[in-house]
Structure 1
């Protein structure tokens, strides 16, 4: 005879707080803080066991994350999330009085005093919540326009991500990469136009050693919103390719972006300024704009304009293209 096998204890159902934190992209401290402050806790907790979050509990926290990512105050987000849990929320969730305040946790991007859209974008970026990032960015560009969306929503979030990974080592590089990709996608959705715009087009390019192109993407989107023609050559355009592009397209204006001083090649810019096309006696040269922090300082390349920000560059280009 075979001895009967002793029954095994059933595995505990649900997620631990640590597993749930990893799934949501927040810290366990944040989840515990939300539970303590706003009454968002697991519906069931067996005596002597760690918290186990059931699917209905997870749904409430997911809604809480979505709302805070959109800039809703945590206390209000908790109220809305709990109200959607059903007509009779579990006792464990409603026990006690929710305290007001902001949930704490290490997985945050400090963005300072900014628009709600920027706060939501930063929260979604830390969680690596790609769909929510895409929604916030799309809505920001559509409702605010490319210039305001870039300066007041995207740029502060990017700077916060950059400061975070510098302070934390390599830990937050993935946040910055994902955020940058979605910002570029949101801007390019506006810049990509199915029909060409008539008239001479501005030439936009990054300097040969310049790998940062997001400000150019923002400018392209803003030009598209105004119905102005442009050709975008992106970052790190080689010197001879830049000169050839200017000669072949004959742009009335050329904007060259440099993020850092080492990529600001003054000699190359002077060659662009001297580039001319057209028949003898009617030769034409472009107006060259040098943009970006790389051109900071009292001396700019001779024969160029230096817009101080995106809005100024946009106005200058519109005047040249109209």
Structure 2
């Protein structure tokens, strides 16, 4: 009887128009800013001012000190679709081994400013060397992933005395995409990227990157991209992001890779067939693109001091998917 009276009372209260209605769903998350304001990073973020093509910008970075320094610095260079925060496990591995670790977000990415014009690898390389100068770092071990691998090659070629070892982790740019993909107008890419949904982006990552990670480990990075759609500055972010595609397409580095003289290690996922621009390529050419492990092995043989290691059953995010094997290869190589 008591339960009946209580239930009837609740029903009456809910039916009373003068009382506020209870929310049926959790309120939507407040949008991130286009510099990922509101998105957490694993270590404190600082800002370094740069000027690119006359535009005043801020380059975000993490500068992580080890408990027991070995006197060496590692520079980590991120890929296109993830903020530099995804390097967290590698930062810990390296700092535990005594390395100081510097982890920038390149201009146009993560917590750095979003430029209004084009992006260029030479400009990003110059920004990165300016950051090392600002921090008083003369030489660094360069550890790069994906698009960061293309930037790393440009840095190694333009500033050879600043790079002691080069670790290319599932890099893209091991082929010249212009040979398979016709030029695509920026406006067309803008439209395609703007139509993409969070679920569509998840499927895109699963397909392009051969993801082996549990879905919950990928969700924060999907939110990092799609939670900025509520920002008033989202169109600026979108144009900056598309500019990075055009940079990859217009500025190949594969022809420079055999000329890299520093000790170099490719760490590849055997299942990684990521190839930017594949959807825009003629269908007959798509299957020939993205044979990244094979390309890395072949390129290493053309270099004066390089080797390639291929980790089975691993995709594009090799340092997250095969952490123990990756860490062992990384530390062994840098130790030498």
**TM-score between the two structures when normalised by the length of structure 1:** 0.30
Between Structure 1 and Structure 2, the one with more helix by share is 1
Higher strand share: 2
**TM-score under structure 2 normalisation?**
0.29
